A and B are shown apart, each in its own frame.
Chain A
Amino acid sequence: MATDIAPHATAAELPPPRTSVGPLAWLKQNLFATPKDTVLTILVVLFLLWVVPPLLRWAIFDATISGTTRDVCTFDGACWTVIKMRFGQLIYGLYPPEARWRVNLMAVLVVLSLVPLFLPWLKQKLLYGAGVLIVMPIVASLILEGGWGGLQQVETNLWGGLFLTLLISFVGIAASLPIGILLALGRRSNMPIIKALCVTLIEIVRGVPLITVLFMASVMLPLFFPPGWSIDKLTRALIGVSIFSGAYMAEVIRGGLQAIPKGQYEAANAMGLSYWQSMGLIILPQALRLVIPGIVNTFIGLFKDTSLVLIMGLYDLLGIARMIVASPEWLGRSIETYVAAGFGFWIFCYAMSRYSQRLERKLHTGHKH
């Protein structure tokens, strides 16, 4: 029988046809494949031709960056001189220039402390992370606030600019995960009191805008402390931001928890794992992985929302930008200042979003469901 069938010859390996490789083929496939594509491509190109050249002219060709005062500026192009002259303020706020090295030192310390989290051979990452979370705030307040051992004291109301934005978002982000996890677990708890507490907190915080939470934090928090105690504006803002982001994070994480099949809980229980062991080893690692995009979204939202601390009299990146715009020396150069501040926000948000994409891809290589 088998002899009746012609033996199956292995086809020779041929190079791909010329039309399917190279830049021309790419253009044809991606931009001009159908008449509709062609029309769209032409429209987009026309739009870009209309928008980009004036933008470039304003931002680069007709722009000024020399000089030190408003007098060098023209109204044809951007005047980056304002950014050059006030760059320090945009970054450090009103932090005294001679003490700015302390902010830089702190930034280096933060980056260094994060490095071990990316080392594949460090197994106790959670423990390490918790340690960092406890130690860092103490180190930060010692270095940044000073007032000991010859370090000049710098009141927190002088802190500002990108530095303050990063500080608040860092604290908010770092606090939001543990707070969010605890609230999410509490919301699914069998214990009615814990559940009710968590639901109430989450729903109240989520039902009001951050600006209200910040306002409540600045007005109401002092009521909880004994008279004579004062907590500074920054601490109040940090507490407000942490609770706010924690409540949002709780709902994101709850979504992940709900997506984990019941069988995972049962298998963990049947093996004799305790509640915290099954959460920490089985459920949360899977649930958090599922909601990375949501978590990063919350981070990005939080990062941008930090500008609302303005209402508490704190000057984050946007607050400083507004201050510069309002100053008599730079009156009228608001576009440049806001563009620069916006660019500052964008860089960090974009970096976060890229990092989350990488993380997702990395975590999904191991297993498919």
Chain B
Amino acid sequence: MSSGAMIQLDQVNKWYGQFHVLRNVNLSVEKGQKVVVCGPSGSGKSTMIRCINRLEEHQQGRIVVNGIELTSDVKNVDAIRREVGMVFQHFNLFPHLTVLENLTLAPIWVRKTPKTEAEETARHYLERVRIPEQADKYPGQLSGGQQQRVAIARALCMKPQIMLFDEPTSALDPEMVKEVLDTMVSLANEGMTMICVTHEMGFAKAVADFVVFMDKGEVVEQAAPTEFFGNPRSDRTRLFLSQILAH
């Protein structure tokens, strides 16, 4: 593991009350790498990536992001959140703001970008996710796929170095999954450092540098996609893959 890692988790442990949700999790992601995290529901995938931007607190071990260690120091947390964008399963767009306002809010208030510049950036990213014409609509007026693309654009507007995706396509109707995945693939091709929790195995094969399989709070297996899908080492991985690929 090189010390130049963009994201580094060392022996991370976390409990919810008595429940041991993360067990000795280690992960190291270099700049520009794409990681796909998969595993059964309840295995701690969301918890792990939410620890990376401190939506959840870990209780043991070290998490270092972009050279800054996550501690209870608010300054560190703020510094990291400015560099880490997150896309949620349920989009979490702000329903009382227009698409454009959703995109410019954080740049204006957190990065102190002038409004006109923030709007220019916002329109640029709307173009990138191919919905420039929706800028003045409210999120509720868009389809699920469009909303998720707005959410991706919103995260990108902060010019983050790292993007976290937590099951970005699992709340979407099947016909909208592709448009969101396409956006993510093009983002990956541009060299963004990404961690995606997803069960879209096609996406994993296409872009992932390595796949992380979690079960019961542990990282069970970590391997390149060809290796992971072609020759899984652990029984738990094999069982999971057979269930996923069965339908």
Contact = CB atoms under 8 A, between A and B. Distances in A.
A271 B110 contact: yes
A263 interface: yes
A263 B105 contact: no
Interface in B93-138: 93-96, 98, 105-106, 109-110, 138
B90 interface: yes
14 contacts: A263-B90, A264-B94, A266-B88, A269-B55, A270-B86, A272-B82, A272-B158, A273-B105, A286-B95, A286-B96, A366-B98, A366-B138, A367-B139, A368-B140
B94 A269 contact: no
A267 B94 contact: yes
A273 B97 CA distance: 16
A270 B96 contact: no
B81 A366 contact: no
B109 A277 contact: yes
A285 interface: yes
A282 interface: yes
B47 interface: no
A109 interface: no
Contacts of B155: 271
Nearest to B109: A277
A266 B55 contact: yes
B88 A267 contact: yes
B94 A272 contact: no
A271 B153 CA distance: 12
A264 B88 CA distance: 11
A346 B225 CA distance: 72
Interface in A16-46: none
A313 to B, nearest CB: 46
Contacts of B86: 267, 270
Contact of A266 (B84, B92, B93, B110): B92
Interface residues of A, number: 21
Contact of A272 (B95, B98, B106, B154): B106
Contacts of B94: 264, 267, 282, 286
A272 B110 contact: yes
Contacts of A285: 96
Contact of B106 (A263, A273, A366): A273
B173 interface: no
A362 interface: no
Interface in A274-305: 274, 277, 281-282, 285-286, 289
A48 B95 CA distance: 47
Nearest to B108: A281
Interface in B65-80: 78
B55 A270 contact: yes
Most interface-central of A261, A266, A270 (chain B CB within 10 A): A270
A8 interface: no
A269 B81 contact: yes
B148 interface: no
Nearest to B137: A367
Most interface-central of B55, B96, B139 (chain A CB within 10 A): B96
A361 interface: no
B88 A369 contact: no
Interface in A229-284: 261, 263-264, 266-267, 269-274, 277, 281-282
Contacts of A277: 109-110
Contacts of A263: 88, 90, 92
A274 B77 CA distance: 11
B8 interface: no
B134 to A, nearest CB: 13
B141 interface: yes
A368 B138 CA distance: 8
Interface string A74-91: 000000000000000000
Interface string A329-369: 00000000000000000000000000000000000001111
Nearest to B53: A270
A281 B81 contact: no
A129 B140 CA distance: 30
Interface in B33-87: 53, 55, 78, 81-82, 84-86
A272 B90 contact: no
Most interface-central of B84, B92, B98 (chain A CB within 10 A): B92
A270 B88 CA distance: 10
Contacts of A264: 92, 94
Nearest to A368: B140
B212 to A, nearest CB: 21
B71 to A, nearest CB: 17
A267 B110 contact: no
Contact of B138 (A266, A286, A367): A367
Contacts of B109: 273, 277, 281
A281 B105 contact: yes
A274 B110 CA distance: 8
A367 B140 contact: yes
B224 to A, nearest CB: 29
A369 B95 contact: yes
B81 A270 contact: yes
A367 B53 contact: no
